[in-house]
Amino acid sequence: MADREYSKYQKKVISRFYDNREQMDEQRLAELVTNLFLASGKKRVNFWITAREAMERMEVPQSRIDHIVNSDDPTLLAEVVKDIQAGKITKKT
């Protein structure tokens, strides 16, 4: 695909998206906790993939991510959300 020139408005929208990415990931992780409790099968697998990606972007330690995903326990994911909100897992700046 050819290089694309974005309008001034589009550049601002893109910039705001990435400026707020961490808050969106935090909110998405919280939503995923509920979804994981209710989901089963292929949908549940996809929710775990999404959770892993969000935790990696938020720089949660890889060993903790692996433990949580391999355990398939949404309560452990809820603990990560709680730790992020409490500041125990430092957010990248």
Write the CA distances from 20 to 12, 16, 25, integer angstroms. Answer: 12, 6, 9
Low-confidence residues of the chain: pLDDT under 70: 1-3, 91-93
What long-range pairs does 56-62 form, CB within 8 A, spacing at least 24? 57/21, 57/22, 57/25, 58/22, 58/25, 58/26, 58/29, 58/84, 58/89, 58/91, 58/92, 59/90, 59/92, 60/84, 60/89
Backbone angles phi, psi at 4, to 5 degrees: -110, 135
* pLDDT for the residue numbered 55: 93
Residue ranges of the domains in the chain?
24-86
* pLDDT for the residue numbered 39: 93
Size of the chain, expressed as the number of residues it contains: 93
* pLDDT for the residue numbered 91: 59
Average pLDDT of every residue of the chain:
90
